């Protein structure tokens, strides 16, 4: 009796410490500030991070760990007011010439005009899979949740839990899928007024600088890769955490929401840009979701 209780307690202890390692929510612990010469700051004991941009420089950070599959969630409050010309990026990327990348980019705008959420997926160094959206709220007034679910079946971009884009594994029809190269999480705030707002027509108003984007509540339910090539999701790993997200597909409620977003807020879809793809659409467009 007593012995089994102790075993249960030990198991619970192991489970709770391993999930703490994977669900940690501390910028100090999980990220390195990589550039910006003091413009990026971790505040409030690691609970909050800010990036800033002025005429001299932007700033950025990256995760300490690499991940191979995961559900990566971040809360962001984007640059308020006249943010035209600024870009805040939040993305996953591997390294090397044939890298994989999953991108969220938030293109600023004049006060009162909507941000554009730009998304892209690179596989083996090739992107050209842009989809763009407006949002159904003002992303500068409060923190909102942006997440990337990346599992062997699909990549789902979500905003406040509402899926906006799905990139399915289409390896069976010859489209590479990011499933071999571990990725790190990156974020940066920089000036892109040569293209970002109305194709570069609207320039950054430096009298409004510094521009500031804020981050909190980072969460990675993810397979963490060690430098020796082992993954925390391997079945023999002591911290194996392969949760639901690893197999997750959209349920009918989420599919409805995806349709709602794409019918009402999508402003660009490469899979319908026939001027660009005169020779025919990329093969994965066959799998393009629903709308
Ligand atoms: C800025 O606002 C204009 C006007 O509403 C809109 O067409 C455009 O998509 C917005 N976003 C960017 C990045 O220009």
Query: Is position 71 annotated as part of the catalytic site?
Result: no
Contact partners, residue 111, CB within 8 Å, separation at least 6: 81, 82
Predicted confidence (pLDDT) at residue 176 exceeds the cutoff of 50: yes
Tokens at 23, concatenated = 């669900």
- Cβ neighbours around 224 below 10 Å, total: 22
Structure tokens at 104: 């969220």
56-81 pLDDT tens trace: 999 999 999 999 999 999 999 999 99
pLDDT at 220 over 90: yes
Q: Are 214 and 50 in contact (CB under 8 A)?
A: yes
22-31, 137-146, 148-157: least confidently modelled range: 22-31
Q: What atom of ligand 1 comes closest to residue 115's alpha carbon?
A: 11
Q: Is 105 a catalytic residue?
A: yes
The answer to whether 173 and 283 have CB atoms below 8 angstroms apart is: yes
- The pLDDT assigned to 219 comes to 94
- The atom of ligand 1 lying closest to the CA of 113 is 2
What is the pLDDT, as a whole number, of residue 14? 43
- Does the pLDDT at position 217 exceed 90? yes
pLDDT at 290 over 60: no
Q: How far is the CA of 114 from the centre of ligand 1 (A)?
A: 6
Q: Evaluate if residue 23 carries a pLDDT over 90.
A: no
pLDDT at 248: 76
* 92 closest CA partner among 100, 83, 82: 100
Q: Which of 84, 86, 116, 203 best tests ligand 1's pocket when mutated (most atoms within 8 Å of CB)?
A: 116
- pLDDT for the residue 5: 52
Is the shortest distance between the CB of 120 and ligand 1 below 6 Å? no
* Ligand 1 and 113: CB distance under 6 A: yes
Tokens of 49: 């991070």
Q: Using a 6 Å cutoff on CB, does residue 107 contact ligand 1?
A: yes
Reported as a pLDDT band with limits 50, 70 and 90, residue 245 is confident
* Top-confidence residue, 245 or 130: 130
pLDDT of residue 3: 52
Mean pLDDT taken over the chain: 89
Q: What is the CATH number of the domain that holds 37?
A: 2.60.120.200
If pLDDT is split at 50, 70 and 90, which confidence band does 21 have? very low
User: Ligand 1: which of 84, 198, 199 to mutate, most ligand atoms within 8 Å of CB?
Assistant: 198
Domain that holds residue 225: 2-287
* 224: Cβ contacts below 8 Å, ≥ 6 apart: 21, 22, 65, 66, 67, 231, 232, 239
Are 197 and 108 in contact by the 8 Å Cβ rule? The answer is yes
Assign 13 a pLDDT band (cuts: 50, 70, 90). Answer: very low
pLDDT at 194 over 50: yes
Sequence-distant (6+) residues with CB within 8 A of 1 are none
pLDDT at position 147: 98
- Report the domain count for the chain: 1
Q: Do the Cβ atoms of 39 and 56 come closer than 8 Å? A: no
Three-state secondary-structure class, residue 269: strand
């Amino acid at each position: 009796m007593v012995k089994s209780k102790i075993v249960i307690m030990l198991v619970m202890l192991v489970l709770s410490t391993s999930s703490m390692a994977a669900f940690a929510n501390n910028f100090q612990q999980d990220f390195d500030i990589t550039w910006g010469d003091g413009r990026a700051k971790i505040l409030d004991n690691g609970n909050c991070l800010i990036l800033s941009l002025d005429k001299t420089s932007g700033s950025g950070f990256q995760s300490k760990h690499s991940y191979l599959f995961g559900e990566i969630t971040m809360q962001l409050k984007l640059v308020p007011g006249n943010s035209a010309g600024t870009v805040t990026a939040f993305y996953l990327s591997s390294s090397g010439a044939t890298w994989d990348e999953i991108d969220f980019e938030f293109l600023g705008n004049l006060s009162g005009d909507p941000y554009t959420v730009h998304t892209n997926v690179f596989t083996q160094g090739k992107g050209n899979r842009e989809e763009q959206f407006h949002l159904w709220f003002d992303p500068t007034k409060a923190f909102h949740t942006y997440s990337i679910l990346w599992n062997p079946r699909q990549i789902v971009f979500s905003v406040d839990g509402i899926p906006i884009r799905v990139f399915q594994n289409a390896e069976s029809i010859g489209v590479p899928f990011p499933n071999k190269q571990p990725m790190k999480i990156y974020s940066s705030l920089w000036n892109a007024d040569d293209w970002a707002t109305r194709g570069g027509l609207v320039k950054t108003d430096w009298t409004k600088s510094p521009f500031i984007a804020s981050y909190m509540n980072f969460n990675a339910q993810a397979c963490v890769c060690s430098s020796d090539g082992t993954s925390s999701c391997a079945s023999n790993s002591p911290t194996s955490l392969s949760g639901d997200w690893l197999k997750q597909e959209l349920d009918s409620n989420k599919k409805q929401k995806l349709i709602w977003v794409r019918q009402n807020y999508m402003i660009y879809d490469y899979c319908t840009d026939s001027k660009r793809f005169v020779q025919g659409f990329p093969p994965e467009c066959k799998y393009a979701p629903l709308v």
